[in-house]
Amino acid sequence: MNRSKNLYMVESEKAVDQFVEDFSAVAEKNSFVINNADSMMMKLTFREHGGEVPDDFDLHMIQVCKPTKADKSLTFNPERCILMPKFVHVFSENGKTQVRFLRYGPEHINEMVPNDERFPESLSQTFDTICAMIEEAR
């Protein structure tokens, strides 16, 4: 795996909460859902389970899914589940909102889910769409 190739990294001038709100709207417009809207704010999740984090800890782990695509994909081959769902990570660092998204290239997808000729291209398209949604929300 190659950090510069597989890790989509961008900054936003928006505050973390504003980016998350805007990204959620863009996702909905593209028929994606945020599966964990009530638990994506990791400060609250960690604290609910006894974890201790500072008040300014603002990591959001946004679980992104497109049910109208995932249903067919996973019904066709349940082995694909290891690459679903996808997460967009948002946090602040040095006064800027940071966005991270881990994506895999066709060669990695094929290694993880072998003998599934259509999946690498299909999943790569989904990764591209999520990156475009991040750009629109920035």
* Sequential DSSP letters for the chain: --HHHHEEEEEESS-HHHHHHHHHHHHHHTT-EETTTTT-BHHHHHHHTT----TT---EEEEEE-HHHHHHHHHH-GGGGGG-SEEEEEEEETTEEEEEEE---HHHHHHHS-S-TTHHHHHHHHHHHHHHHHHHH-
Structural domain containing residue 73: 3-137
Q: How many domains does the chain have?
A: 1
What is the reported pTM? 0.92
What is the percent of the chain with per-residue pLDDT over 90, rounded to a whole number? 91
- Summarised one tens digit per residue, pLDDT across range 99-121 is 999 999 999 999 999 999 999 99
Give pLDDT, residue 2: 74
Tell me, what CATH number does 71's domain have? Answer: 3.30.310.70
pLDDT at 1: 66
What average pLDDT does the segment 57-83 reach?
96
